[in-house]
Amino acid sequence: IFDIAKVPSTSFPTFDNLVRLEVDYIYSPAPISSLINFLHFSPNLESLIINQ
């Protein structure tokens, strides 16, 4: 997300209320690294579902 949008990670909000995230994944190296960056801003995430 950050790499693609060219958004500095310091300007991105923290998702404190996000406890479940479901994403659709189409193979590409960039989205996985962006997802990992996004997860750093989701400190209370309990469940991550990745649909292929």
Q: What is the pLDDT of residue 27?
A: 75
Q: What is the pLDDT of residue 7?
A: 53
28 token code pair: 């590409």
The strand pairing partners of 21, in sequence order, are: 48
Q: What is the pLDDT of residue 3?
A: 53
Angle, CA of 24, 28 and 52, to the nearest 5°:
30
| pLDDT digits 0-9 by tens, 2-52 | 455 555 566 678 999 999 999 888 777 666 777 888 888 999 999 999 898
Distance (Å, rounded) from C-alpha 29 to C-alpha 10? 23
Q: What is the pLDDT of residue 17?
A: 97
First to last CA, the chain: 18
Closest by Cα among 9, 13, 18, 11 to 47 = 18
